[in-house]
Amino acid sequence: MSDLEINPTLACHILRLFIRDEVLKVGAKGVVLGVSGGIDSALAFTLAVQALGAEAVVGVALPYRQSSHESLADARDLARSLQAELAVVDITAQIDAYFSDRPTKDQNRRGNKMARERMSVLYDISQARSLLVLGTSNKSELLLGYGTLHGDMAHALNPLGDLYKTQVYQLAEHLQLPETLLRKRPSADLFEGQLDEDDLGFTYAQADLILYQMVDRRLPYDELAKLGYPEAIVSAVIERVRRNQFKRRPPLIAKLSARTIEIDFRYPRDWGC
């Protein structure tokens, strides 16, 4: 048995309860989420529909003119199979307007801007329709910092945040998500032809095993190097986890008073719920 193998029936059950419980107790009517045509958002979309019913879930595809047409088609097919709403909000106009007098060839900068534009649309729909924004960042992405701060990393609830990417696939297979999604290579779709694993320099299968030993089993760093993976990959994973810690924490506040938010003013998020 692989260290990363989990009970998919149990995991899906807990995640559906989590979505239902956290949505209903704050009085929201449901959830809204960005649906990219990738595996993570497809899984989150499916779990949300199973948890809340299709009428309480709004999927939103937010393509830019260079985004993959296949991804949009996959998002539409998925929404159809779930009998759930899929709104399509093209973000080309606002992105191009912004960069028209700030031209840049920096793909990451453009990609981050798009991710934040998508977040902005989702939060507007969230407010307009009393829905919580459902996140789709998995544990691998969060640990590696492979996401845009205040972009795809901004959401109210995240059912996938404690699942490594390879575990996302396990749940997706268990829920019999379409083959096209299961076979597709992961892409942030920030620009044409982009692939996560090219950006990262290693595969999720490699990273997940290293992350599991490092995070879940707390293996010392020098022991990680003995796992049989190239040292460069082990170092890159460790370094990414350290360097991206800031993305996983709220902003730092300079302490002045006796009681400072997030330092010694500590209340649960579900306060009163």
Shortest separation between residue 25's beta carbon and another protein, angstroms: 8
Task: Find out whether 175 and 199 touch, Cβ atoms under 8 Å.
Answer: no
Q: Which is nearer to another protein, 77 or 162 (CB)?
A: 162
215 binds another protein (CB under 8 A): no
Ramachandran angles phi, psi of 109, nearest 5°: -65, -45
271 binds another protein (CB under 8 A): yes
N- to C-terminal Cα separation, the chain:
39
3 binds another protein (CB under 8 A): yes
1 binds another protein (CB under 8 A): yes
192 binds another protein (CB under 8 A): no
Q: Which residues pair with 58 in a beta bridge?
A: 32, 85
Interface region with another protein, contact rule CB under 8 A, candidates 7-15, 62-70, 79-87, 188-196: 7-15
262 binds another protein (CB under 8 A): no
Place of tokens 């899929």: 86
Q: Which is nearer to another protein, 23 or 75 (CB)?
A: 23
7 binds another protein (CB under 8 A): yes
Helix extents (H) in 66-138 = 69-82, 92-100, 107-129
273 binds another protein (CB under 8 A): yes
Contact string (CB under 8 A) for another protein, positions 141-180, x = contact = ----------------------------------------
SS3 59: strand
| Biggest distance spanned by C-alpha atoms of the chain | 56
Shortest separation between residue 18's beta carbon and another protein, angstroms: 6
Q: Could you tell me the two tokens for 267?
A: 């209340």
Q: Residue 257 burial by CB count (10 A; 0-12/13-18/19+): exposed, middle or buried?
A: exposed
Q: Which is nearer to another protein, 250 or 268 (CB)?
A: 268
Active-site residue list = 40, 141
Place of tokens 């107790």: 25
5 binds another protein (CB under 8 A): yes
Place of tokens 């544990």: 139
The H-or-E segment that residue 31 falls in is: strand 30-34
Q: Which is nearer to another protein, 37 or 135 (CB)?
A: 135
124 binds another protein (CB under 8 A): no
All residues at 6 or more sequence positions from 268 whose CB lies less than 8 Å from its CB, including other chains: none
How many whole angstroms separate alpha carbon 5 and alpha carbon 8?
A: 9
Q: Which is nearer to another protein, 174 or 184 (CB)?
A: 174
- Determine which residue in the list 16, 21, 30, 55 makes contact with another protein, applying CB under 8 A: 21
217 binds another protein (CB under 8 A): no
**Which residues bind to another protein, rule: CB under 8 A?**
1, 3, 5-8, 10-11, 14, 17-18, 21-22, 265-273
